[in-house]
Amino acid sequence: MTTLLPPIVLLLWALAALLGPLLPLQPDQIDLQQILAGPAAEHWLGSDDLGRPIFDRLLMGARTSFSVAVGVVVISAAAGSLLGAFAAYAGGLIDLLLIRTIDIFLAFPGILLAIALAGVMGPGMDNVIIALSLVGWVGYARLARAQVLSLKHRDHVSAAIALGAGRVRVVLRHLLPLISSPLIVEATFGVAAMVIAEAGLSFLGLGVQPPEASWGSMIRDGARYMLVAPHMVLAPGIAVLLVVLAVNLLGDRLRDYLDSQLAVTTARKSW
């Protein structure tokens, strides 16, 4: 059961994000008679302080977290991997500039820098994605740079250069495919980090704005009613917990699988 739990949770998360807008949901429907109502047959997870169904808002919040997490990881992984790979292969001043830039970004806590950027640009999903991407590329760039430095002097790279392959072709065709495994694992853990970051920014009021739903803003709104309506916090809180836990467990399994495949490949070459 524990083996199936992560993919099931992630599948439900993705389905809720992709199919949520197509379902007959009413996340913004205010019903004054249902204010702070607990779970019931009509509203499975109860209602919030405006009488809106928490289940409907939870599904729409899944779309927000999914869009932000996937968008940030795709942008950060692509930009960071390319920057790190090209800088490491070029070396010299370009590599030095990248190292100093990474050091500057790492001097600040990532979430604090994201909060500052989101505060400057203003709230909204697009600005959240931009702010988190400006912070998130650093890890991928550092990982790609370290991997390329260990690979760029190998025989197949020297052979490609001898055959007339240019710098761009060497990086894209002969280096990036070899470092894709650790980058994929890093991206998997990055999804979990971005779910928490988006929830944190929305909790602070820097994410999506009302009436749009976000798990972080739902937790913020429910914190005032913890004693009388704990379901307002429990539903989105458990959703964040399950998604982050599932992504991390899947990332651990993926890392173990790729490490075992690398060990088998190395053993075969040694024979």
Q: Per this entry, what is the length of the chain?
A: 271
How far apart CA 171 and CA 244 sit, in angstroms, is 33
Predicted local distance difference test score (pLDDT) of residue 42: 81
Entry pTM: 0.88
3-class secondary-structure state, position 26? coil
Predicted local distance difference test score (pLDDT) of residue 2: 60
Name the one residue in this structure whose structure tokens are 């065709």: 173
Instruction: Kindly write down the DSSP assignment for every residue of 218-236, as one continuous string.
Output: HHHHHGGGTTT-THHHHHH
Q: Could you report the per-residue pLDDT of 94-120, keeping only the tens digit for each?
A: 999 999 999 888 888 888 888 888 888
Predicted local distance difference test score (pLDDT) of residue 270: 41
Q: Report, as ranges of residue numbers, the positions in the chain whose pLDDT lies below 70.
A: 1-2, 261-271
**Cβ atoms < 10 Å from Cβ of 230:** 14
Among 3.40.50.300, 1.10.3720.10, 3.30.450.20, 2.60.40.1080, what is the CATH number of 53-266? 1.10.3720.10
How far apart CA 194 and CA 107 sit, in angstroms, is 20
Q: Which tokens sit at 141?
A: 């760039």
46 class by beta-carbon count within 10 Å (0-12 exposed, 13-18 middle, 19+ buried) = buried
186 class by beta-carbon count within 10 Å (0-12 exposed, 13-18 middle, 19+ buried) = buried
Interior angle at CA 144, CA 139 and CA 148, nearest 5: 155
Predicted local distance difference test score (pLDDT) of residue 268: 52
